[in-house]
Amino acid sequence: MDVLPKIQALRDELNQHNYNYYVLDNPTISDYEFDTKLKELQDLEAKHPEFFDENSPTQRVGGAITKTFETVQHEYRMYSLDNSYSKEDLLDWEKRAQKILGDVPLEYICELKYDGASISISYENGKLKRAVTRGDGFQGDDVTNNIKTIKAVPIKLKGDFPQKFDIRGEIILPFAGFEKMNQELIEIGETPYANPRNTASGSLKLQDSAEVAKRPLDCLLYSLIGNNLPITTHFEGLEKARQWGFKVPTQSHLAKNMNEVFDFINYWDKHRHEMPYETDGVVVKINNIHQQDELGYTAKSPRWAIAYKFKAEQVSTKLNSISYQVGRTGAITPVANLEPVQLAGTVVKRASLHNADQIEKLDIRIGDTVFVEKGGEIIPKIIDVDLTKRPANSEPTKYITHCPECQTELERKEGEANHYCPNFYGCPPQIIGRIQHFITRKAMDIEGLGGETVALLFNNGLVTNYADLYELKKEQIIPLERMAEKSADNMIKGIAKSKEIPFERVLYALGIRYVGETVAKKLAKHYKSIDAIASASLTDLILVDEIGEKIAQSVIEFFDNQENRLIIERLKQYGIQLEAIASADTTVSDVLSGKTFVVSGVFEKFSRDDLKKAIEDNGGKVGSSISAKTHFVVAGDNMGPAKLEKANQLNIPIITEDDFIAMIHG
């Protein structure tokens, strides 16, 4: 018998058994029979290496070692969801959608919100090509080898799948598997894991995929992404994904109206603890794909989806003391030190008190019995005080007046919730915090240098700002505590490599107040260099897309400071990228300069994303909604009636995609 057909038959059979067991939860053979067949396939593949296939079921046991996880750009950005905590929030969301779409009937998909690690998996020609973590939404880590070990993730699809698409989902760790892992750790005297979510997320970054294969991870998939997919509704997409071999949760429900959405929420708020894994809410999505396209996105979230968060668990415990932390911007954060208490799967010892107003509002005092919950099931916070248990000798809390680190008198600007230490260049936690922010992965990504090492360098007088990092010498580092020649070499190499980091991330790394990743990208794209930003006026900055007065004022104050200017001059001398690289500019022409376009409908010659890119590449701007500032609406089939009416009211020209093509080609 020819060996290749035998190998292929075993692969197909084992793939089907994996699907039956891990997706359908309906095994048709015993574990022993499965292992026997897997061993037979392993032996055949070992004898015939010429028939190696990276998608064989034998490769799911792992073994590939990944020293560093490659950062990969998402072809389709991974957005986060807006959260809601009441049914009124959901009704407001529905009204906002109706305002854009017009008076059209809406259907909703209700899905349980799983508490795990988000993943985007790419398939080409029915085979798993790549799996990437969410990261910052624009780019994430390539964890393909580790994802392949999860049996619920199909390596090879079946049925009428598209040639190319992405599917999004959540990597989760069921309670039973989590408890078993912890029991094994306890038995050998090791510290158990804190919670299933963090353990699932951490598993994806293990270097040895064989270790990942030992963990009982699962993958629940909930969204197809791609161009020209064979679906018209989200629900249809879920059904298609199931047919192709994906594990799609059966709890997903099609709701005809908001009352049915509320019924789904009410049911699962009571029954969520019956699920075998963590759920912290319900995701509600508009079902119609065309309506999703019409609604589009804000800077962070889709307008067609929202997360309803279940009320957080609460416990009571004693407030032992209040300490005050100083952040890198000088903001003071009061922290409650609590009698340790179990909450939502973790032991809580500390909780944020936010600011002086919150302490005064709740009249929180040391010795009080307080109610604690996890805000969004993540960050513990005090929500109330049990006044019936307050000690008789209790005294009101007096908020500190001076910095706990440098003793400088605190300031509180009008309209600000926080107190600040104004000793920007002399307060140790602020200095250390700014350098720690500078080296982070989303900023300069300096390998071989962590937060504790930054504090060590500062405390030994080797750095007082982030420019000092580029003057460090190996012989200065080796004598430090826990340092050796290899550690020093790695740090020096990591610092040198950071000179390749692109301008937009350098701008974020500088730590300008209110300038996060998104704002840094906007400023870098608009101004192209640090000098242009430094010389921009307040009015100029405010005119940049999505830059408000508060951000603009902060940028002005940063560059008005002489010490900041000196540090930037030093960074230039060290070769840091303080200008945008010209080759990264995809501009084709400026024929659409000064014109704002709104895209609506379905197109034949462009995908919506390609059409928007063509507008920007030719100097135009893409607007999310029609206003008096809109110059043209590019309309395809099924243009939203509300947009059509608005365009007509404002006398805005409506053009076809052929008109647009003629416009850019002159």
**Residue 37 is labelled as binding a ligand:** no
Query: How would DSSP label each residue in 413-471?
Result: -TT-SS-B---TTT-HHHHHHHHHHHHSTTTT--TT--HHHHHHHHHTTS-SSGGGGGG
**Residue 421 is labelled as binding a ligand:** yes
Place of tokens 């895209």: 599
Residues in Cβ contact with 259 at an 8 Å cutoff, skipping those fewer than 6 apart = none
Element at 176 (helix H, strand E): helix 175-187
**Residue 219 is labelled as binding a ligand:** no
**Residue 260 is labelled as binding a ligand:** no
* Cα-only R_g, the chain: 28
Catalytic sites, residue numbers:
113
Residue 343 CA to its chain's centroid (Å): 24
Taking the C-alpha atoms of residue 26 and residue 74, their distance in angstroms, rounded to an integer, is 35
**Residue 427 is labelled as binding a ligand:** yes
Query: How would DSSP label each residue in 559-592?
Result: HH-HHHHHHHHHHHHTT---B--GGG------TT
**Residue 34 is labelled as binding a ligand:** yes
Residue of 443, 137, 519, 504 lying closest to 297 (CA atoms): 137
**Residue 107 is labelled as binding a ligand:** no
- How many residues does this entry show for the chain? 666
Residue of 308, 159, 169, 130 lying closest to 249 (CA atoms): 169
**Residue 77 is labelled as binding a ligand:** no
- At 124, list the tokens: 């080409």
Check if the beta carbon of residue 161 is closer than 8 Å to that of residue 230.
no
The secondary structure of the chain in percent helix, strand, coil, rounded to multiples of 5, reads 40, 20, 40
Helices H, strands E: what count in the chain? 24, 20
**Residue 406 is labelled as binding a ligand:** yes
Place of tokens 């420019």: 467
Taking the C-alpha atoms of residue 179 and residue 346, their distance in angstroms, rounded to an integer, is 13
**Residue 343 is labelled as binding a ligand:** no
**Residue 31 is labelled as binding a ligand:** yes
**Residue 569 is labelled as binding a ligand:** no
Residues in Cβ contact with 620 at an 8 Å cutoff, skipping those fewer than 6 apart = 592, 593, 595, 596, 597
H-type alpha helices, 469-548: 474-477, 485-497, 503-509, 517-527, 530-534, 538-542
Positions at the binding site for Zn(2+): 403, 406, 421, 427
Positions at the binding site for NAD(+): 31-35, 80-81, 111, 134, 170, 285, 309
Positions at the binding site: 31-35, 80-81, 111, 134, 170, 285, 309, 403, 406, 421, 427
